[in-house]
Amino acid sequence: MPVSVINDAVTWWELIERRTHATPDLAMLVDAGGRRLTHRQFRDVVERAAAGLWELGVRPGEVVSWQLPTTIEAAVLMSALARLGAVQNPLIPVLREAEVDFIVGQLGTRWIVVPEVFRRFDHRTMAEKVAARHDARVLVCDPAAVPTAVSGAAAAGIEIALPLGDPAVLPPVDADGDAVRWVFYTSGTTGVPKGVRHTDRSVLASSNGMVYQLEFTDADVASIPFPLAHIGGPGMLGLMVRVGCSGVLVETFDRESTPGMLARHGVTMLGSAAPFFHAYLDAQRRHGAEPLFPRLRLCVSGGAPNEPGLHTRIRAELGGAGICNGWGLTEHPVVGYAAPGSPDDRMERTAGRPAPGVSVRVVRADETPAAPGEEGELRLRGPQLFAGYTDPTGDADAFDEAGYLHSGDLGYVDADGWLHVTGRLKDIIIRNAENISALEVEAFVLRHPAVAEVAVVGLPDARTGERAVAVVVPDPDQPAPTLAALVAFCRAEGLAPYKLPEQLELVAELPRNSMGKVLKRQLQLAF
């Protein structure tokens, strides 16, 4: 029989404790290295990690910025910080020194937790440079670099690269689910990262769409091929604890090997964007006629629209319900999903229906309510709504008079309550489900001596959702830049790799309106 779903926990730690008491021996996590934890083992090692952090000097209310790959360490650290009552700031691994320095400085971070090296990037050196400028301390979380950290971890059945201590030293649990304990950063339209403040209560509510609409049970085996530090990370981890299911952590997604690894673990859910889905389809073709994922129940997508026909291909070639698409923002995660078994045209073309408790308003440019089926700005309110920005000057423009969040996205709700996302008011490119500020990329490209003017736009891409295209007016006194030269220049200037332009178009002039604004839609149609 399916186990009971926990829907009323107030804090992250309360949820973990209640699941441990309810189903201690159910499997919870497995990673690429084969390390496994049941729910009870997870709770136990989290407590010991919290004690180890306490003994190092981490205290409630202190800001801990952590940048770890999707491993058991990341899941344990996330929960250990919640147990301590620290304010945690998860950072996706692709962020580099410029962004991390800004974030650490804005938050007054006390601790920075990083791996030694991940994907050939030296995170430790970067963290030490940032920490020296902001009087922070660095904790390296890396099994190879910190072999003493595994001492005593055998009680949980695994080795783990975090400091461990005696839970008896821990302070009392803070049961305030409305205290701000999480700060995520998202690319702002100005190019400056925006800190998004969340509470335990709002983070837990971010899994509502998966719990209520995607019908997860303890029999499911989820996959997490994206950074746990993303806003979707605690949503997925919270889902597993709420329903008692298990999940497979993917440290580095590899198109050739990862699909087979997930298949061996019997996953019932695959995610989470076009590049991953194409990798699964390619793996199935290599595998032959026998289903590679015989237990597959559904695929889950969010962040950017999928290409036409992909849902139908997934259902026909991989099996299951196809792609259950959703939509949300860091400020208001997972508005809702298209539930398994929904009509194909709804699965293919919509972002589902709003989850229970979520309200969507569609507002015309003149601030009047749009009619069903009429496009306007999508505005949101629900239990997962954030508590405001780290820079409070942004809050006034974030909400309307009724307390709804300005999403900056265009869309409509049809007469049957299905949500359609049609475009963006804000100048953001969504590549591999990560937001890229076009303005920020433009600022880097403009530093190149051969660039006189530039506009960066997003174009549809079958594998990544969108690709960043730099439309450049060359300086007539310089040799015209090449894409390779432009990318090398931006990389050397410190632009994060995932933001680098992927296409270069040289033009004599940029199209502009009478006010001098670049007509980016015209550029998108031209290329």
Instruction: Compute the distance between CA of residue 414 and CA of residue 376 in angstroms, rounded to an integer.
Output: 12
Q: Are 484 and 471 in contact (CB under 8 A)?
A: no
Output the CA angle 250-269-244, nearest 5 degrees: 90
Predicted local confidence at residue 234, as pLDDT: 97
3-state secondary structure of 379: strand
Predicted local confidence at residue 152, as pLDDT: 38
3-state secondary structure of 161: coil
In sequence order, what are the residues at sequence separation of 6 or more whose Cβ sits closer than 8 angstroms to the Cβ of residue 511? 518, 519, 522, 523
Instruction: Compute the distance between CA of residue 5 and CA of residue 37 in angstroms, rounded to an integer.
Output: 20
Predicted local confidence at residue 146, as pLDDT: 39
Task: Provide the β-strand partners of residue 381.
Answer: 359
Predicted local confidence at residue 143, as pLDDT: 63
CATH superfamily for 12-252 is: ANL, N-terminal domain (3.40.50.12780)
Predicted local confidence at residue 149, as pLDDT: 36
Output the CA angle 252-438-423, nearest 5 degrees: 90
Amino acid identity of residue 368, one-letter, is T
* Residue ranges of domains in the chain: 12-252, 298-424, 428-526
Predicted local confidence at residue 304, as pLDDT: 55
Predicted local confidence at residue 190, as pLDDT: 55
The class that CATH gives domain 428-526 is alpha beta
Sheet holding 246-249, edge to edge: 36-38, 27-31, 246-249, 221-224
DSSP string for residues in 302-371: ESSPPPTTHHHHHHHHT-TT-EEEEE--SSS---EEPPTT--HHHHHH---EEPTT-EEEEE-TTSPBPP
Mean pLDDT per 10-residue run, the chain (527 residues)?
A: 84 98 96 91 97 97 97 97 98 92 97 96 97 97 53 56 96 96 81 89 97 95 94 96 97 94 97 86 96 97 72 95 93 95 91 95 94 95 98 93 92 94 78 82 90 91 91 92 96 92 94 65 88
- For the structural domain made of 298-424, what CATH number should be given? 2.30.38.10
Backbone angles phi, psi at 175, to 5 degrees: -95, 15
Predicted local confidence at residue 81, as pLDDT: 98
Predicted local confidence at residue 188, as pLDDT: 59
DSSP string for residues in 182-216: EEEEEE-TTSSEEEEEEEHHHHHHTTHIIIIIS--
Whole-prediction pTM value?
A: 0.84
